[in-house]
Amino acid sequence: MLPYLESTTGNRWRPLRAWMLTMPVDLVAMLAPLLVSTQNWKGMIFAAVLTVVIFAAGGLYQGRRHMSILDELPGLCMRLFASAAVVGIIAAQRHSSLADVGPFMRNIALSALLVIVGRAVTINVVLLARRRRWVEHNAIVIGGGPVAVELARLLRRYPQYGLRFAGFVDDASTPHPDAEQQPLIGHLADLDEMVRLTKTDVIIVADVDTPDADLIELVRRPQSARCDLWVVPRLRDFPVQSAPDHIGAIPVVRARRSTLSGWKWLVKRTTDVVVAVLALLLLSPVLLVCALLVRVEGGPGIFFRQQRIGQYGRPFDVIKFRSMRPADDAESQTRWSVADDPRVGPIGRFLRRTSLDELPQLWNILRGDMTFVGPRPERPFFVERFSADHPEYAMRHRVPVGLTGLAQVSGLRGDTPISDRARFDNYYIENWSLWLDVKVVLRTVAEVFRGAGR
């Protein structure tokens, strides 16, 4: 059976996220002065968008366990000042008189004040919703020692952290005495099943003796991969500078956001659709020329369809320009591509070298089978074989497959180690960001112009 096949994680509803409330409130606050005067409305809209982008880049839309306006105020003020400085410089260059800039900058200052007030109100609304348990995320604590027990006590006693304790998952043969009063819902091997049964959204790693490599493999499984992952630092009594969040007096560090949630994934999918539509329109002459060349060289049958494995192990038909004719369907599904196959003509070789044969996959992206950047899809035969030999290979299917990927632009294409490809793909998933996608696309374009395809 293929990895992730029939997984139900993709349909699971996720509770409200903080950014769903704070981002619209910030936009409304920045644009509120337009209710009084519509003068310089273009500048106000630009300032609002710029501020939201700066906030997002600075991590101000990431959910926190401990929420306080006093904790967020320094970061808010610093980024509001940066946004105002950029807008002020642009306004000064566009207007020769300070009398023209003054009213606009006063509106910017008023907007900044409203953003701070709006953030304070938003935090209090979120805290109220958490205390009333209107909004909460189920949380599993990995471990059974004193830190895990204290975390469970805090989560049960203080709902303002937005987490509902679902139980312990641990392999300890002699658990902490106080842990006997808390539910041990399963062993580490059962983590994925426990996440599914309890509809868990957050996993907290406390005191556990499991080797890191084994633990990483567990939290990368399909159900667990959709959870936010928080870790209690081993030296927890020392201050944590990188992510000063905490539950009670226990510091916690966000090790991973859920792989398929957040506004950035919404932006990613929206960008996929918009760019795919534009690319199909703009590249239609190129597509037509490629189709004619394929028809001239190889006769009827311009496109080549081949079954590949996508997200959660779902099969789909990938579409490419035909560069050669396989002997039969079995060869197409089970034979590795050969660089110097004599059946590939000059045109087919050119299409492969420039990756132009991949252009019809824009339709796969538009359909939602693929995304622009992600692990490259493979055929079912090879997915089963590679997953059996390399368990980390199956973890690639946590996210949508891509037209290009980090492994490919890092030189891992063709006859290269599968373990290295899987390592790069999983690194991409664990460290995904919109900027990482941009870097992969830029490197892909550079490779296409160098003719570094297959």
Instruction: Please give the pLDDT value at position 355.
Output: 80
Q: What is 230-249 written as a DSSP string?
A: EE--TTTTS--SS--EEETT
According to DSSP, the β-strands at 245-247 and 250-256 are antiparallel
Which whole-number Å values give the CA distances from 18 to 48, 61, 260, 263, 310, in the listed order? Answer: 19, 7, 16, 10, 30
Helix (H, G, I), strand (E, B) or coil at 252: strand
Instruction: Please give the pLDDT value at position 113.
Output: 95
Extract the tokens encoding 121: 């109100």
Contact 298, 322 (CB under 8 A): yes
Which whole-number Å values give the CA distances from 274 to 191, 270, 300, 333, 404, in the listed order? Answer: 38, 6, 31, 32, 17
Looking at per-residue confidence, does 158 or 333 come out higher? 158
Q: Please write the tens of the pLDDT for every residue from 403-425.
A: 999 988 888 776 778 888 888 99
Q: What is 390-413 written as a DSSP string?
A: -HHHHGGGGS-EEEE-HHHHTT--
Instruction: Please give the pLDDT value at position 322.
Output: 82
According to DSSP, the β-strands at 250-256 and 401-404 are unpaired
Amino acid at 284: S
Taking only Cα atoms into account, the Rg of the chain, rounded to an integer number of angstroms, comes to 26
According to DSSP, the β-strands at 202-205 and 137-142 are parallel
b/e for 19-48, b at 16 or more Cβ within 10 A?
bebbbebbbebbbbbbeeeeebeebbebbb
**C-alpha torsion sign, points 393, 398, 402, 404:** negative
Q: Please write the tens of the pLDDT for every residue from 340-391.
A: 666 667 877 787 778 888 889 999 999 999 999 999 999 988 888 888 888 7
pLDDT band at 238 (very low <50, low <70, confident <90, very high): low
Question: How many other CB atoms sit within 10 Å of the CB of residue 111?
Answer: 25
Extract the tokens encoding 343: 């059946």
Scan for tokens 């982008």, then name that residue.
53
Beta bridge partners of 371: 402
Extract the tokens encoding 185: 């819902």
- Rounded to an integer, the average pLDDT of 31-60 is 88
- Rounded to an integer, the average pLDDT of 222-248 is 73
- Rounded to an integer, the average pLDDT of 126-153 is 89
**Most distant CA pair in the chain: distance in Å?**
77
